[in-house]
Amino acid sequence: MRLFKKILKWIGYLLLAGISIFTLMVVIPEKETVKPIIPKEYTQYWTMDEGFKIAYTHVKSTADSIKTPLVFLHGGPGGYIHSSIINTLAELTHLGHDVYLYDQRGSGLSDRLERYSDISFQHHIDDLHEIISEKIKGKVILMGQSFGSEIIAHYSSYYPETIEKIIFSSPGTLGPPRMQNNEYVDLATVYEIPDSLKFIAPYSFVKDVDRVAFKPKAIALITGALLFDKKLISDEQADRMLNTLASKFTRGMVCDEKNVLPEEGGGGLYAFIATNQGDFPDVRAKIRQLEIPIIVIQGQCDYIPFSSAYEYVALYKNGSYKFIENAGHEIWWEQKEKYLAVIQKFLTD
């Protein structure tokens, strides 16, 4: 009996020590490895109907004749507008298009929101609709990078009348997963890679994500968010975790790691987690009815499978696909001129 009590006592000590260490690791401030993003001289803000602000950049047309504006949606979720894409798309303004690039709610220079539930996939769709209908007020050309393509695809199923054309750049896998006869469809068996396309597997960043996901701070953050709709870890601390992670996984966004550009500190971790939670409808049947011209642009070293990218081409009635060699997920980092040439041709055809 005395031995049993000793064992229980030591178990109690170990549990207390474990809880103390966990609590300490939660309380200790997250190291700042990437300076947080700061407004530029050209940063502007839209005040949304809900009262928060969305940061955006407006690059005006340099042509005499003004054409349909182009609205760019960044990747993520929880990503932001990197200065490199602003500089890249600014080179299209000679065609007559104003270009708008905005940070989605909860990320970049846009406001961080009070509750975890203030961000969702549907919120992103609603924000885009408000921006087009109330801020820009007219038909637009939409361009989505990675996750931004998923927002646009769903948006197009609801508001196709507001869209002239769509550019899907390295599009993320369209959700929810495709089903047939109550079974998940393996897209790789539906859209096989043509022999003419030689893909190269980039650096795999899964292990980098896992290292962050199991940190005490991340566990506390997710627990508070999912169970209590509370931010137990501040946005500042949470975003530091994502920015540190981003500085590692961008190695998987290129063919040649020397072409990785520095992080600019705009990651929004709560936006990343919240947007990936919850169910949303399958809009594939609606998309199949649309006449909107679209193009999918994909790099040779994209970590997104060809089948996921090509599904966009197959779903829209008027779709095309362009493959760019020696480029990764962030195509313009390595093949800017080819990237712009493809976009310009699509816009002018």
Residues 84-112: pLDDT tens digits?
999 999 999 999 999 999 999 999 999 99
Q: 150-179 burial string, b = 16+ CB within 10 Å, else e?
A: bbbbbbbbeeeebbbbbbbbbbbbbbeebe
pTM: 0.93
How far apart, in whole angstroms, are the C-alpha atoms of residue 330 and residue 85?
9
Element (H, E) at 241: helix 235-249
Half-sphere exposure of 228 (CA within 13 A, CB side): 9
Phi-psi region of 200 (alpha: psi -120 to 50; beta: other; left: phi over 0): beta
Q: Tell me the C-alpha to C-alpha distance, in Å, between residue 347 and each of 16, 84, 140.
A: 63, 21, 12
Beta-strand relationship, 163-169 and 99-102: unpaired
DSSP 295: E
Query: Is 90 exceeded by the pLDDT of residue 319?
Result: yes
Q: Tell me the C-alpha to C-alpha distance, in Å, between residue 321 and each of 172, 227, 313, 332.
A: 15, 42, 7, 17
The 10 Å Cβ neighbour count of residue 265 is: 20
Work out whether the CA dihedral 77, 81, 82, 87 comes out positive or negative: positive
Residues 139-189: pLDDT tens digits?
999 999 999 999 999 999 999 999 999 999 999 999 999 999 889 999 999
